[in-house]
Amino acid sequence: MKIICEREKLLKAINSVVKGVASKTTMPILEGILIQTNDNEIKLTTYDLEIGIEYIIESTVEEQGSTVVNAVMFSEIIRKLPDTEISITLNDNNLLEIECEGSLYKLATMNPEEFPELPKINIENSVEMDQKILKSMIRKTIFAVSMEENRPVFTGCLFEILDNKINVVAVDGFRLAWASNYLEKNNNDFKAVIPGKTLNEVNKIITDSFEKIKIGVSKNQALFQMENCKIVTRLLDGEFLNYYSVIPRNWETRIRVNRKDLQECFERISLISASVAEKEKKYPVKVKIDVGKITILCTNQTGDAKEEIYLETQGKELEAGFNPKYFLDALKVIDDEEIYIDFGTSVSPSVIRPIENEDYTYMILPIRMKD
């Protein structure tokens, strides 16, 4: 194998595929990047048996071939080489020779035949979206996926195509995040639950250089296809929550508030509430709604905190306990300047919605206060 390739192009491909490299594994081959040539293309592949990533770049291929090289070492060397053409050759001793100006590196390689094959996917349903929209929908929901492995289906996000709308939903038993968007083209209805871990990687790999992303699903697998890069992942089994039916449609108390002001209040008060928290959820803050005012209170051995904002209120007065982190997670990702928060009683869920957009709904359960 002999390749001549621009460093910048190669580095971009490496930066994408390294996110699929296994970090803790007893199989050294999974710590590698599979390099394969095909005419005047190079394909880089990584696969940690959960997420597989392929990236194809054009390059001068003087001799066809394939090999596997340690991902960390290969990527660090390419990263530190000068920004010019790099020659990469598999020599007769199975060492990968990387040559660039006065630098010559020879790295040990592994047998490409031992690299596990990525699962083949027979795509049954698919949807194409703008990368910016997909990225935003993931960002607005992923923090709410469950960390509890005992109900695996909730460690992922539901992707639901329904009536030419895409809904992305995550729920962890304490809160539910639902982002939605209309699709440009007519599309078949389908749904699939994609692991949170995969979506995290997808979000890191998606960059402005990919405009459109096609998501295809088979029975057990999903495929994210961008121009010259694709990501495959398994799907999560099991019945997802009927999210639409659990979100309250009515409210007893409604406030209209500047998102950033409220975020800053919760950030400050978290300093006190989290200071003694072994488990965050055990140290709630008290939220009080009076006519024209919200007050947030927290008292523990560190100190005593009170935050007040004057605002527009409707309906009843209210007092309820909440984990400030659950508020903050949502307040940080909403782009809109103003939001509604609809409260029920002190033991029923509250709902956050942007004033102007219907593309995001966040439901949060209160915590019973100790007193």
Q: Contact residues for a second copy (CB under 8 A)?
A: 70, 73, 76-77, 80-82, 95, 102-108, 264-265, 267-268, 271-272, 275, 301-310
Residue 180: is it exposed, middle or buried by C-beta count within 10 angstroms (0-12/13-18/19+)?
middle
**Residue 48's closest CA among 223, 198, 194, 157?**
198
| Cβ distance to a second copy smaller for residue 307 or 342 | 307
Min separation Cβ 141 and a second copy, Å: 26
Residue 206: is it exposed, middle or buried by C-beta count within 10 angstroms (0-12/13-18/19+)?
buried
Min separation Cβ 356 and a second copy, Å: 25
d(CA 6, CA 100): 10
Phi, psi of 347 (to 5 degrees): -120, 5
| Cβ distance to a second copy smaller for residue 177 or 272 | 272
| Cβ distance to a second copy smaller for residue 70 or 167 | 70
| Cβ distance to a second copy smaller for residue 150 or 301 | 301
| Cβ distance to a second copy smaller for residue 253 or 270 | 270
Min separation Cβ 81 and a second copy, Å: 7
d(CA 59, CA 5): 5
| Cβ distance to a second copy smaller for residue 27 or 108 | 108
Min separation Cβ 293 and a second copy, Å: 9
| Cβ contact 308:294 at 8 Å | yes
Min separation Cβ 60 and a second copy, Å: 23
Provide the residue count of the chain: 371
Min separation Cβ 336 and a second copy, Å: 21
